[in-house]
Amino acid sequence: MNDRIIGKLFADAKRKHKESFHNKGKSINEKVRLYTRVGNALIEARKNDTDVRARHTMRAEHPRMFSKNNAQNQSTISYISLLV
C-alpha cells in the first residue's frame, strides 16, 4: 500500500515538472523571438541611419507577447529601451 502512495507521489511530481518545463520553454522561445526582432530592428536602423524609437511598434504588433507575465515583460521592455 505504501508503495502505491509513494509511486503516485513520484508520478505526480514528475508530471508537474514536465508540464512546468514545457511551459517555461514556450516562454523562453517567445523571448528569443522578441529579442531577434529587436536585434533586427536595431541592425536595420543602424544601416539606414534611422531612429529606432520612431519604429517602436512591437507592442502594438504583438500584444500576446506582452500580456502573459506583466512584471517580466516590463523588465524586458526596460532592457530594450536601454539598448536603444
Instruction: Record the pTM.
Output: 0.43
Q: Any idea where the domains of the chain sit in the sequence?
A: 54-84
Residues 52, 41 contacting (CB under 8 angstroms): yes
Whether the per-residue pLDDT at 67 is higher than 60: the answer is no
Residues 42, 52 contacting (CB under 8 angstroms): yes
Helix runs in the chain, H state only: 2-48, 58-61, 70-83
**Residues 6-57 pLDDT 10s:** 999 999 999 999 998 888 888 888 889 999 988 888 888 888 887 766 555 5
24, with CB counted inside 10 A (0-12, 13-18, 19+), is: exposed
